[in-house]
Chain A
Amino acid sequence: MRIFRRQALPGFGLTLGLVLSYLTLIVLLPLAALVLKSASIGPHEFWAAATSPRALAAYRVTFGSAALAGLVNLVFGTLLAWVLVRYRFPGRGFIDALVDLPFALPTAVAGITLTALYAGNGPLGRWIEAAGYKVAYTPNGIVVALVFVSLPFIVRSVQPVLESLEADVEEAAATLGAGRLTILAKVILPALWPAILAGFALAFARSIGEYGSVIFIAGNMPMVSEIAPLLIVAKLDQRDYAGAAAIAVVILAVSFAVLLAINLVQLWLVRRRSAKAVR
C-alpha cells in the first residue's frame, strides 16, 4: 500500500510521473487558471457577471433544453435499447451501429445538417411550418440538436444492463403467474433504473456543454435562444475574460455536481440492492 515499496511489475515510477505531469499540465493547471481568473475579480463582480439577466436567461435555455432532450431520450433511447436487445428484425445490426453516429460525427456537421433539415425551406421544416410550428432558429431547435447529440449516452448505458438481465429471473416471474406488464414493472424496470439514470445524467452533462451542433440551429437570440457556451464565446469576443470565466465556472460546477450526484445515487442504489439481498 505504501507508495514507495517495490512492486512486482516495472514502470510504476515512470507511468506515475508521466501521468501526473501530463494531467497537471494539460488539465489541472488550465482549469486552475480558470478558477483563479474568475476569483480575481472579487465575489461581487463574479456574482454580477454570473447572474446577469442575459446569463440567467442563457442558463435557463441551456439547462431547460438539456433536461428536455434528456427526457426525450430517456423514453425513446430506452425504447431503442429495448428493441435492439430483445427483438430480431432486419437491419438491427445496422441501427445498432448507427447509434454511435452522434459520437463519431463532428458536431459542426450535425449542426448544419439538422439546420438544413429543419429550416423553413428544408424537407422536415416545410411540413412542420405548414402545421404551424417552428423548430429551426427557436429554442425547439436546441432541443432537437441535443436529442441527436446525447442519444447514444442513454442507449449505450441501458443496453449492456438489458443484455445481462438473466432470462431465468423473468422465467421465474412468469412461472409464478406474473403477466408481461407485471414482469416489466416489477422485474425489468427496477434493474434498469440505475442505468437509465446514469445515462440521463451523462446525456445532461454532455448537453449543457454542447456548442457545435446547437449554434447553427438555435438562432442565438440573447435572452431567448442563446445557450451558455455561446455566451462564453460572446464574452470572449468582447474581451470580457472575467465574465466568460465566471459563466464557465457556473457551467462546470453544474456538470460536476450532476456527475457527482449520479455516482452517489448509483452507489446508493447498489448498496440498497445488496442490503436487500443480504436480508
Chain B
Amino acid sequence: MSIEALDIEHRYGRTVALDKVSLGVRSGELLALLGPSGCGKTTLLRVIAGLEFPVAGRVRFEGRDVSRLGARERHVGFMFQHYALFRHLTVFENVAFGLRVRPFWRRPKRAVIAAKVNELLELVQLGGLAARYPAQLSGGQRQRVALARALAVQPEILLLDEPFGALDARVRGELRRWLRGLHDRIHVTSVFVTHDQEEAFELADRIAVMSAGRIEQLADPETLYTKPASPFVCRFLGEVNELPFALHAAFTRSRDERSTAFVRPHDLAFERLDADGALAISSVRDLGPGVRIEARHASLARPIVASYARERHAAEPLRVGDRVALAPRHWVMFGDEAGHS
C-alpha cells in the first residue's frame, strides 16, 4: 500500500514542526526518515499514523484520503520508540491484543487467535517467552514483541519510531539485519524514523533526510551519498571537508568565487610539495584500519582531513610539517548558500 503525505504543516505552539512537507512512499518499500533530533521526523511518522493531526495537509493511503481518520481507523502497525508494551499483560496477551479488541463479529475464534499469535512469536523468535511479562524481557526482546504486536493485525503499512534507539550497540546491528530480512520476506510498506545515518543506509531502500521541518532530499542511499542535494545533507551523512574557492579553484576550475567544494576524507589525498606551500601536515594518526591525516591552512579554523588506507600510507608516508597540495578524487560543489561558519 502506497503512502502519500501532501503539504503537511504542523506546529507545537509557535514552533514549526513540519513546514509543508510532502512525501511519497512506494508500495512495499522500506523508507527511512533520517534527521537530527527536533527535525520533525517523528511528527511526520505520527501524522501518517493518525496519532497527530496536522494544521494543514492531506494523507493518502493507496490514493484513499485518510486525513480525517484516527489511528484506530487507519489500520497501520505502529512501533513506539519505547515499545509501549502493555505492562500488565503477558507477551502472548500483548500480541493478541489487536485481535481480541475487534468487535465480536470480526473477532477471530480463540484457537485462531492463539495460532496466529504463536506463529508471530515464532517469526520474531520469541516462541518460549509467551507467558512472560514485559518487565521480564530484555530490550531486544521487548522490541520484537512490539513488532509482533504491530504485525498481528496484518497492517499493510508498518511505521517504526526509532526502532533501535533504546538498544545497546551490539544488539542493534544484529536486529537491524534481522529486520531487513523480515521485510524482504513480508514486504509490508514500512517507514522508520532514525537519527543514525548508518542505520538508515543499512536498512532502507530510500532515505528522506529531514531538517528543520522540511525534507532536504529523498533518494536511494547511493544517490544521497554521491549527489547530496544540499550542504546539510552532505554534512549530516558524515565527516566532510568544506573547501572555499581559494583552496578548491586549483582542481575544480570553478570561476564562482563564492562556491564551496565538499570533499569526504576518503576521497582526499595530499600530494607532497618540494617547494614551500600554505598547507602543512599538522597531525598523522594511526587508527588501525586506516590512517587519519590532517593538514592546516592559515585561512581555515579547522584542519583539512584525509583518511588513507594503511598500504597507501605505507607506500608514500607523510610527516608532520610536510608541505602538501590537495588531490581529491571526488567532490560536490555548492554555491553561495553553503554558508561558512
* A/B: CB atoms within 8 Å of each other: yes
Residues of A within 8 A of B (CB): 1, 5-8, 10
* Stretch in B46-54, B106-114, B141-149, B329-337 touching the partner: B46-54
- A8 adjacent to B13 (CB under 8 Å): no
- B53 adjacent to A6 (CB under 8 Å): yes
Q: Which residues of B contact A7 (CB under 8 A)?
A: 53
**Total A-B pairs, Cβ < 8 A:** 17
Q: Which residues of B contact A6 (CB under 8 A)?
A: 53, 68, 70
B13 contacts which of A1, A5, A10 (Cβ < 8 Å)? A1
Interface of B: prevailing SS: loop
A5 contacts which of B50, B53, B70, B71 (Cβ < 8 Å)? B53
Interface of A: prevailing SS: loop
* Number of chain B residues whose Cβ lies closer than 8 Å to a Cβ of chain A: 12
B50 contacts which of A1, A8, A10 (Cβ < 8 Å)? A8
Q: Which residues of A contact B71 (CB under 8 A)?
A: 8
Distance between Cα atoms of A6 and B71 in the complex (Å): 11
Q: Which residues of B contact A1 (CB under 8 A)?
A: 11-13
Q: Which residue of A lies closest to B13 (CB)?
A: A1
Min CB gap A129→B, angstroms: 59
What string of 1s and 0s marks CB contacts (under 8 Å) between B26-59 and chain A? Answer: 0000000000000000000010001111010000
What string of 1s and 0s marks CB contacts (under 8 Å) between B3-18 and chain A? Answer: 0000000011100000
Distance between Cα atoms of A10 and B55 in the complex (Å): 18
Q: Which residues of B contact A5 (CB under 8 A)?
A: 53, 55
Q: Which residue of B lies closest to A6 (CB)?
A: B53
Known contacts A1-B11, A8-B51, A8-B70; 14 additional CB pairs below 8 A are A1-B12, A1-B13, A5-B53, A5-B55, A6-B53, A6-B68, A6-B70, A7-B53, A8-B46, A8-B50, A8-B52, A8-B53, A8-B71, A10-B70
Min CB gap A265→B, angstroms: 27
Q: Which residues of A contact B11 (CB under 8 A)?
A: 1
Q: List 5 A-B contacts (CB under 8 A).
A: A5-B55, A6-B68, A7-B53, A8-B46, A8-B51
Distance between Cα atoms of A8 and B46 in the complex (Å): 9
Q: Which residue of B lies closest to A1 (CB)?
A: B13
